[in-house]
Chain A
Amino acid sequence: MNSTSTKHFEPKTAPGAKQTTETAPRKRVILSMGGKGGVGKTNVMTGLAEWYQEHQIPVTLLDLDTENKARGSLTHFFGGQVPKINIHSPEGLDAFLDYLDSGPPIILADMGGGAGRVTHTWFDEMYAPVARRGIVFTAVGVITADPASVESVLAWADRLQQRVAYLIVENQADEHANFTYWRESAQARAFQEAFQPAVMQMAYRLPHLETAMRNHGVTLTEVVQRRTSVAELQLSKAVIRAEGYRERMFGQFETVKELLLP
C-alpha cells in the first residue's frame, strides 16, 4: 500500500503495553502471531490495512510469510505493493530493519506459520536497540474454537513477554464458534492477567463470499466499492454483505485503536 497521505496524528502510548522507549513512540509495528495456520491471521491483517486506508493513514505492508502461498497472503490481496521478506535469511532481516527506520509510521507485518522461532530470536537480539528508536510493537493473536490456536498465541507470549502489546481477535470461524479454551483455561487466564490484552471480535462470514474473496484476492472494500471484475462479487447480496462485515470489523478496530496507532 504505502500511500502518501500527509495526514498527521499525535503519538499515543498504548495502554497495557509496558514497552520501553526513550522517546515517544514514532512507529508501531503490528505483527500477526504466526504458528497455527488457517485461523484468519491474514484476514485480520487485510482488514486492518483497509481500515488504515479508510482513514488515509499511510502504512507499510510487509509479507513475512515464507511459505510463499499464492492465495490468501497479503501479497495476493495487495499485489506488488507488498514486499515479501524472507526473515529466515540475514538479508531479509536487514531489509526489515530498513523499513523500521524509515517510511510510514505504521508497519503491518503478516508472519507466516513457521515464523515463530526466527521472530523470537529476532526479538531477543534486536528489541532493545529498536525500542530505543521509538518503535513499539503490537502482536495480533487470532483465536478460534480450536485449542491449538490458543496454544499458539500463548507460546508466542511466553517468548515475547512484555515487549509487545497484545491484541487478541476472537474469530468466529463458524456459526457456533465458542472460545472456551481461550476464556476458561488456566493458561489463557494467566496470560490475560499478566498482559491484559485488548480483545476484539471478528464476526462469522458466509463461506461463499469469504471463499470467493480469498480465491480472487479481493478485499471487502473492493467488493463494497464494486471495484472487482469477479461476477459473483458484483452481486448485490455480496456487496451488501461485504458492507456489513466491513462496518462491523472497522467498528471493532475503533475499540482497540490505541494499539493500532503509534
Chain B
Amino acid sequence: MNEVFQAILDSLPPKPPRSKLEPYAELIQELRKRGRSYREIAGILTIRCGVSAGTHTVYNFVRVRAQAQKKAKAARAGAGRSSQTPAAAVPVETATTQAANQDEEVWQRIQALKQRTPQRNEAEKKVFVFDETKPLQLIPDSKEKK
C-alpha cells in the first residue's frame, strides 16, 4: 500500500465496536453454549456487567455473529475449492453487513406483524344484535296508525 495511505490509516483511532455487546461476545457465546436463554443472558449482563440490553438485542447480536461466521467460513471453503475465486471475494465485513440487513428485515416483519390489527371474524362485526330474552317490542307509532 502507498506509504501515505498507510500513514493515514495508522493515525486513525480504532473503530468503536458496532454493538455495545461486542466486549462481552465471548461471555455471551459461552453462556449460549451452556444453554442459557437470551432472556437469562440479558439479565446476567444487566446485573453482573452493568450493561443494559434487551432480549432482542442479545438475540440479534448472537444471530448476526453466527451468520457472519457461517458466511465467512463458506467463503473460505469456496476459495479453497475454486482457484478462480480469490479468498477476499466475499469479505467478512460484507457478509456481516448482509446478515445484519437480513436480520433487520426479519425484525421489521415481526414488528409489522405485531402492529397489524387482527382480522376479526365476520360474525364478530355485528351489525345486528338480537336479545332472545326480551320480547318483541311493537313500535308505538305504527300501532296507533293501525
Contacts and interface: CB of A to CB of B under 8 A. Distances in A.
B130 interface: yes
A184 interface: yes
Nearest to B124: A161
Given A127-B122, A163-B122, A163-B123, A158 B128 contact: yes
Contact of B136 (A123, A128, A160, A188): A188
B7 interface: no
Contacts, number: 68
A56 interface: no
Q: Is the interface of A mostly helix, strand, loop or mixed?
A: helix
A190 B122 CA distance: 19
A158 B129 contact: yes
B13 to A, nearest CB: 60
A184 B132 CA distance: 17
Contacts of B127: 161-162, 194-195
Contacts of A159: 123
Nearest to A152: B132
Given A20-B122, A123-B123, A163-B122, A155 B130 contact: yes
A186 B139 contact: yes
Interface in A54-70: none
B129 A184 contact: no
A211 interface: no
A161 B130 CA distance: 11
A180 B143 CA distance: 9
A71 B102 CA distance: 68
B142 interface: yes
A194 B128 contact: yes
- What does DSSP make chain B's interface, helix, strand, loop or mixed? loop
Given A158-B130, A191-B130, A147 B125 contact: no
Contacts of B142: 183-184
A140 interface: no
A185 B129 CA distance: 14
Contact of B122 (A162, A180, A186, A191): A162
A180 B137 CA distance: 11
Interface string B111-122: 000000000011
Contact of B128 (A124, A151, A157): A157
Interface string A170-191: 0000000000110111111111
B49 interface: no
B88 interface: no
A215 B109 CA distance: 65
A85 interface: no
A31 interface: no
Contacts of A242: none
B126 interface: yes
B123 A187 contact: no
Contacts of B128: 157-158, 161, 190-191, 194-195
Contacts of A157: 128, 130
A191 B129 CA distance: 8
A39 B134 CA distance: 21
B138 interface: yes
30 contacts: A123-B123, A128-B122, A147-B136, A150-B136, A151-B130, A151-B136, A158-B126, A158-B128, A158-B129, A161-B126, A161-B127, A162-B125, A163-B123, A180-B138, A183-B142, A184-B142, A184-B146, A185-B139, A186-B138, A186-B139, A187-B136, A187-B137, A188-B136, A189-B139, A190-B128, A191-B128, A191-B130, A194-B127, A195-B127, A195-B128
Listed from nearest, the 9 A-B pairs whose CB atoms lie closest are A185-B136, A194-B128, A158-B130, A184-B142, A154-B130, A186-B137, A194-B127, A181-B136, A147-B136
